[in-house]
Amino acid sequence: MNLVLLGPPGAGKGTQAKRLIEKLAIPQISTGDLLRQAVKDETELGLQAKVKMETGELVPDDVVIGMVTQRLAQDDCKAGFILDGFPRAVGQAEALEDLLASVGRGLEHVVSIEVPEEELVRRLTGRRSCPACGAMFHVSFNPPKQSGICDACKGELITRADDNEETIRNRISVFRQQTEPLKDFYQAKGLLRGIDGSGTPAEIENIIAKVISKA
């Protein structure tokens, strides 16, 4: 199954993608995670992306399209994939469409996760992530057993560089301006599945499972 998770920062794209990986046995492709890895490795691409990410602006289309093209060509994507955080501009959506069409494939569902803005800010200001294994926590909604320490690998938890209120507000505004138009783009193609993302992670997982099991 070829899936896109669409939604504002903090909607739970990463949280739901991790749950879906197990259910569907297909990989999560998060452009945010790929870019953070490049920043950490100080690659040329990472150095280019760093400032954009720290201020909450989008990294140029050609950079992320190149990354996704390479990733989708890998063997583990043959049975399908879950795109998390891509596409997030109309140019990216068009490039993805061309790329999939060129290999005789297409998207099955674009799940748009809707969450009110104040809830997004609460989720992101309290998020803590494990850079070692990718596990995600929230200081109140999903706290680790021991404060600041990853339950899964005992690594030290961090606050992402873009999870401060000023950058969060800008990321939401960039989403409204550049990414939200994709809802109309995919609606017109009959692929959009809008869902209420304000319940618990388990509730939202069930809603997603229902919408993607329908034709």
Binding site for Zn ion (CB under 5 A): 130, 132-133, 135, 150, 152-153, 155
Shortest distance, CB of residue 136 to Zn ion, whole angstroms? 9
Task: Answer whether the bond into residue 87 is a cis peptide, omega within 30°.
Answer: yes
Which tokens in the block code for residue 188?
């017109």
Residue at shortest CB range from Mg ion = 14
Nearer to Zn ion, 93 or 150 (CB): 150
Question: Total number of residues binding Mg ion (CB under 5 A)?
Answer: 1
The entry of ligand AP5, Mg ion, Zn ion, none near residue 135 (CB within 5 to 8 angstroms by kind) is Zn ion
Give me the catalytic one of 18, 50, 123, 160.
160
With CB under 5 to 8 Å by kind, the binding choice for 12 among ligand AP5, Mg ion, Zn ion, none is ligand AP5
Check if the beta carbon of residue 157 is closer than 8 Å to that of residue 130: yes
CB of 159 to Zn ion, least distance (A): 15
Q: What are phi and psi of 5, to 5 degrees?
A: -105, 120
Q: Is 14 in the site for Mg ion (CB under 5 A)?
A: yes
Active site residues: 13, 88, 127, 160, 171
Residues engaged in binding Mg ion (CB under 5 A): 14
Interface residues toward ligand AP5, by CB under 6 A: 7, 9-15, 31-32, 35, 52-53, 56-59, 64, 85-86, 88, 92, 123-124, 127, 136-138, 141-142, 162, 171, 200-201, 204
